[in-house]
Amino acid sequence: MNEKEWPLFEVFVRSRSGLEHKHVGSVHAADARMAIEHARDVYTRRQEGVSIWVVRSSDITASDPAEADAFFEPARDKVYRHPTFYSIPDEVKNL
Amino acid sequence: MYTQGLDSPGREALHASSPDTAALEARFQARVDADEKIEPKDWMPEGYRQTLIRQISQHAHSEVVGMLPEGNWITRAPTLRRKAVLIAKVQDEGGHGMYLYSAAETLGISRDQMMAQLLSGAAKYSSIFNYPTPTWADVGAIGWLVDGAAIMNQIPICRCSYGPYARAMVRICREESFHQRQGFEIMMTLARGTPEQRRMAQDALNRWWWPALMMFGPSDAESRHTAQSMRWKIKRFTNDELRQQFVDITVPQARFLGLEIPDPHLRWDEASQHYVFGPIDWAEFQQVLKGNGPCNRERLEARRRAYEQGRWVREAALAHAEKQRQRAAQAA
Ligand SMILES: [Fe+2]
Ligand SMILES: [Fe+2]
């Protein structure tokens, strides 16, 4: 079994217009065109989608989960970015 | 389908761990205990990774090999409606295999490696697919019993601690329900048909009942690794618990069909509120697992042939893609 494997593509499906594309899994294909056809057959047999994106898995750069704590730390102490941080008297309306 | 509780952690799970690893393991277990999901790039114990690779790939192989017994009837389905349904069902099983291979690949094994393990006979797949489908009623019995047992096995895996496996399982479970219902409908049609059709339905039930119970894997006393898999939340119920649940819901369905479960020991136990069933022939189970079931050789042969006959297509598609890429580069 020494042949070259078809490259891996990550698949993103928009389930209906108005919603964002969402990652659903991956497929192997010789090229992007074929990956879209495979993704249709594998992930949308019951009309789960109106649009498909594929991207070569090797082209994805991801943040490192081991560094997640430090990486997302800057947002942790900025509670003032949330509306509930501010106390406004009840009698003030529409705020 | 179709895990069979054959999953066992490899030796790598047992080696002594360094203090660093011990801390990582403790943190990992705490996350699992808190019902957090583990994702592909997260740190995980090697035993967890290997157990999942083995279980998910076995499961994927089972879906793919599982297309063969039913595929046998596509050209001879009795009506156009039955044929369209059967094609859709078999195609779903192929899709289930693809979801699962894709989930296993996130753990660092390649599709080619898994394929090689299947074709060499090194990898296991569910024993149920090594039984033949000599009559049309077998298609009904498989949907009703085999997919029914699969659903029972698979629903708890939707809450598995490993994210990609759990998500694949949610997708699969959504699709399995039609499989079981179409099977039951076939059985119902036969059970209400001519005496020959009724006999055919009963004969299929006779042949599939015990193999379906074996799908849940060895009894709890025999399966040594259940405890670890439960601690890791890969498994939520034991093999025997799931098997009992399956018997309890299936016996009344057989009654409804007017068919008889081929078990002289079967009785309702008022005290435990469960059906008590007779002993399972584990020697047969072991034989089928070892490769000596009625169709083991035929099934692997079919997979190998498909792999070999598809080789030129895979190579040609790659060559074509490469040519297109070069042309585009030149034009730019
Ligand atoms: Fe399936
Ligand atoms: Fe199924």
- Which residues in chain A have Cβ-Cβ distances shorter than 8 Å to B103? 25
User: Does A62 reach chain B within 8 Å, measured CB to CB?
Assistant: yes
| Across B116-123, average pLDDT | 96
Partner-chain residue, chosen from A4, A5, A45, that has the shortest CB–CB distance to B111 = A5
Query: Is B63 near chain A, with CB under 8 Å?
Result: no
Instruction: Please determine, for residue B6, whether its predicted confidence score (pLDDT) is greater than 50.
Output: no
pLDDT tens digit sequence for B206-235:
999 999 999 999 998 887 778 899 999 999
User: In Å, how far is B290's CA from the nearest CA of chain A?
Assistant: 24
pTM for the model stands at 0.92
Q: Which residues of B touch A6 (CB under 8 A)?
A: 314, 317-318
Task: Return the percentage of chain A with pLDDT > 90, whole number.
Answer: 86
What is the pLDDT at residue B34? Answer: 97
Distance from CA of B171 to the nearest CA of A (A): 9
CB contacts, 8 Å: B44 with chain A: none
Q: What value does the mean pLDDT of chain B take?
A: 93
Does B115 contact chain A (CB < 8 Å)?
Answer: yes
B147-157 pLDDT, tens digit each: 999 999 999 99
pLDDT in the model for residue B17: 58
pLDDT at B16 over 60: no
The bound ligand whose nearest atom lies closest to the alpha carbon of B96 is 1
pLDDT higher at A3 or B135:
B135
Average pLDDT over residues B187-201: 98
Over the stretch A36-68, which tens digit does the pLDDT of each residue have?
999 999 999 999 999 999 999 999 999 998 898
Q: Which structure tokens are listed for A91?
A: 């009698």
ipTM, two decimals, is 0.88
Give the pLDDT of residue B332.
81
Average pLDDT over residues B2-14: 44
pLDDT above 70: percentage of residues in chain A: 97
Are the C-beta atoms of residues B276 and B267 closer than 8 Å to each other?
Answer: yes
Any A CB within 8 A of B327 CB: no
Instruction: Please list all protein residues whose beta carbon sits less than 5 angstroms from ligand 1, which is an ion.
Output: B 1, 63, 93, 96
One-letter amino acid identity for B24?
L
What pLDDT sits at residue B306? Answer: 96
